[in-house]
Amino acid sequence: MAAEKSQSEGKKARKGRKHESMSPKDFYEAKGSELSRKRKPCPRCGEGTWLAQHKGRAYCGKCGYTVFEGKSSNASEEGKKEGTEK
């Protein structure tokens, strides 16, 4: 009998991050007796649909709703700068 190697060569085993599955536990955090949400719910889809947190914004993968975070609240003040000259 020839010595047979059980070989596991060829494909390298993938290393790296395992894709983490999202469980409801990841969305809530229990602090003492109160439950705080880590993520914001989507205003369009309602509770149960959470916005994905990106840098500077939160995005709903379901409806595409995006909310920009930050203190730039002057986006809604755009029409204020109109020239009143005649």
Q: List residues near Zn ion by CB under 5 A.
A: 42, 44-45, 60, 62-63, 65
Q: How many CB atoms lie within 10 A of CB 51?
A: 20
- What are the CA-CA distances from residue 29 to residues 13, 37, 62, 67, 74 (Å)? 34, 6, 23, 22, 33
Closest to Zn ion by CB, 28 or 44: 44
User: C-beta of 48: minimal distance to Zn ion in Å?
Assistant: 10
Q: Which is nearer to Zn ion, 30 or 37 (CB)?
A: 37
Nearer to Zn ion, 64 or 79 (CB): 64
CB of 65 to Zn ion, least distance (A): 4
**Where in 1-86 does DSSP place strands (E)?**
28-31, 34-37, 41-42, 46-50, 52-54, 57-59, 66-68
CB of 27 to Zn ion, least distance (A): 15
